[in-house]
Structure 1
Amino acid sequence: MKLTPRLQTIANMVDKGSIIGDIGTDHAYLPVWLVENSICERAFATDINEGPLANAVGTIEEAGFSDQITTRLGGGIEPYHLGEANAYVIAGMGGMLIIDILTTSKELADLADYLILQPMQGRADLRKWLSENAYEILEERIAIEGEKFYEVIKVKAGKGTHMTWAETELGTSMLQDENYYEFLDHKIRVHERILAGVKKGNDQAAISRVEAELKAIEEVKSCALTQKR
């Protein structure tokens, strides 16, 4: 099975031998790939909706992994029992929903060896929440599909640290990622468009804020360029 760049980036961050719980699994492509490629001997595929879970069951049966991948209907980490999975993937949903899932099932989330999170929106809010709730960022990666950039964050419960605006917005450990420089260029273009827009409104406070953010991104880009050399 061939994965999309987003799912492949997530798969590459899974530790060999893990028992993964894939939350919001949809078609179960990720757990099937992990078992198929001997990264995981066992895995779980869960979804809050019956339709996607039925799709997952079909994918798993077609791949011949019904004995190794368990499917369950339910939201977040709630369908899991203590000791079943040692790590969870929560991907393809908004950052605020991910925060809600981690808050609702804090005990299981905190006991996991690691969590792999891939927010579609609210990335900065998620990083800020993680830092304030004693989660340590282990690894971050960027996936690119067409013109879309996806940030993948691997964390574990531990010691949170204060983050600057640039760290919540741009990540804390992606300087070595091959896609990071392109990601920063994208962020600069977005902020340049925002700056052009706020200048039309002549809101000096907004202009100053966006200019400061743009400068912070350019400084990170300069650092990334130095690392690249």
Structure 2
Amino acid sequence: MNNNIKLSNRLLTAVSYLPNGANFADIGSDHAYLPCYVCLSDPTAKAIAGEVNKGPYESAKATIHKYHLDERVEVRLGDGLEVLQDNEVNQIVIAGMGGSLIKTILENGKSKLSRVERIIAQPNVDARNVRRWFYENDYILTHEAILDENDHIYEVLVANKVSDSNPYSKEFMEKELLFGPFLLKKKSTVFKEKWTLEHQKLDRVIAQMRNASKPDYAKIELFEKELAWMEEVVKDEKQHPE
């Protein structure tokens, strides 16, 4: 397939979880490179590219036209999932935003998700927020990936509406929401690198909080608990009892 669109590794990882013949929406599509890449690679796929800003919306239209995909990729201007009609797509990709914003987009657009079988999210930060939203809204986390690109570590989360398994343990759920249940089991080099850096950052935050005129001891206690978890996961010991 003659596909000369170059996607970043984080986006290539995200689209690898789309099925053949995907009927999906890419929310916050920017120049529509992602949906055009997928549709050039898979002649049975079709997509809606959602963009909230006029400039990228116009750029997306130009990209779609350049690759002669006007019949299969439609760009729409609007905020989050409001660009979708009810029961219009089977998969959603939301990439390149903070976890808090992804959670807000999903929460505000819940009425558009009745037919959505799979959500692929690539939060730049705060993946825990996205995992928690999935769990609380009956989307089962099925895959996680972590990668380092251009000195930033990204996570990709995949959740299905229907799945046979729940990846979380009752006893360690809060820990698994923070680190990712699948990533926690694998403990890759990139995973350890991420949580070594996060440990350093949180350690500094706690020190600053302790020096405040009125320290928030409840929050400090919570952060110290998470700091201890981070110390655990960067070591080569087992995460929790068998």
- TM class by shorter chain equals 0.7 to 0.9
Q: Number of paired residues? A: 226
Deviation at 1:196, TM superposition (A): 4.6
Structure 2 equivalent of residue 194 of structure 1 = 205
Point out where structure 2 has 5 or more consecutive residues left out of the alignment: none
Deviations 1:3-59 (A, max 9, x none): 112212212222222112111111111111112222852111121222111111111
Structure 2 equivalent of residue 144 of structure 1 = 148
Structure 2 equivalent of residue 212 of structure 1 = 225
Structure 1 equivalent of residue 17 of structure 2 = 13
Structure 2 equivalent of residue 47 of structure 1 = 51
Where in structure 2 are the equivalents of 1:1-229 lying within 5 Å? 1-38=5-42, 41-157=45-161, 164-174=173-183, 175-176=185-186, 179-198=190-209, 205=217, 208-222=221-235
Greater shift, 125-134 or 157-166, is seen at: 157-166
Partners of 1:135 and 1:29 in 2: CA distance? 27
Scaled by the length of structure 1, the TM-score of the pair is 0.82
Counterpart code for 1:188: H
Partners of 1:167 and 1:15 in 2: CA distance? 27
Q: 1:158/1:223 Cα in 2 relative to 1: closer, same or farther (>3 Å)?
A: farther
Does the aligned pair in 2 maintain the 1:34–1:40 contact within 8 Å? no
Aligned-partner SS, 2:113: helix
Q: 1:130/1:204 Cα in 2 relative to 1: closer, same or farther (>3 Å)?
A: same
Percent same amino acid among aligned pairs?
30
Partners of 1:141 and 1:40 in 2: CA distance? 26
Deviations 1:71-107 (A, max 9, x none): 1222222222234321011222233332232223323
Does the aligned pair in 2 maintain the 1:110–1:156 contact within 8 Å? no
Partners of 2:55 and 2:37 in 1: CA distance? 21
Deviation at 1:224, TM superposition (A): 8.1
Q: 1:139/1:6 Cα in 2 relative to 1: closer, same or farther (>3 Å)?
A: same
Point out where structure 1 has 5 or more consecutive residues left out of the alignment: none
Aligned-partner SS, 1:88: strand
Partners of 1:144 and 1:110 in 2: CA distance? 34
Deviations 1:89-146 (A, max 9, x none): 1222233332232223323324211011122344323322332232211111123222
Scaled by the length of structure 2, the TM-score of the pair is 0.78
Partners of 1:39 and 1:218 in 2: CA distance? 47
Does the aligned pair in 2 maintain the 1:135–1:157 contact within 8 Å? yes
